[in-house]
């Protein structure tokens, strides 16, 4: 099966840190770029970061840059999202996604349903005030 499995969410206090993992199976990094997006209750999905598999460049949303770090382990077919200095407004369901290998989707973090080729079930991150 081709799938993405995100994990690592939970409850954390304001200012705390959390690390998410996303394991890919059934395909490799050579097939897609891999990114993270989040969706808070009642809000639209928001692109966070993307690893461009074609050239190794990592893109970040300006809102999260400096607080969130994406890393990858090709041998494990896994991407990670390390989050620090968390705020209550970071509360959301976090998803990892497989995106087109080329084009503007990854650089612009345009992770709409139309652009996402595959997404994981998501993991809930709750930041308490």
Q: Average pLDDT of 64-78? A: 93
CA distances from 124 to 26, 40, 41, 43, 115 (A): 24, 9, 11, 15, 22
Is residue 120 predicted with pLDDT exceeding 90? no
pLDDT in tens, 83-98: 999 999 999 999 999 9
- For residue 4, the model assigns a pLDDT of 93
């Amino acid at each position: 099966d081709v799938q993405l499995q995100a994990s690592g969410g939970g409850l954390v206090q304001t200012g705390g840190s959390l690390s998410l993992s996303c394991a890919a199976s059934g395909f490799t990094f050579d097939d897609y770029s891999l990114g993270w997006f989040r969706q808070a209750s009642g809000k639209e999905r928001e692109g966070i970061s993307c690893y461009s598999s074609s050239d190794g460049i990592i893109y970040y949303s300006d809102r999260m840059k400096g607080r969130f770090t994406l890393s990858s382990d090709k041998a494990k077919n896994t991407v990670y999202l390390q989050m620090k200095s968390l705020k209550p407004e970071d509360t959301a369901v976090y998803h990892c996604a497989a995106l087109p290998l080329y084009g503007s989707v990854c650089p612009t973090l345009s992770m709409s349903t139309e652009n996402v080729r595959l997404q994981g079930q998501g993991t809930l991150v709750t930041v308490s005030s």
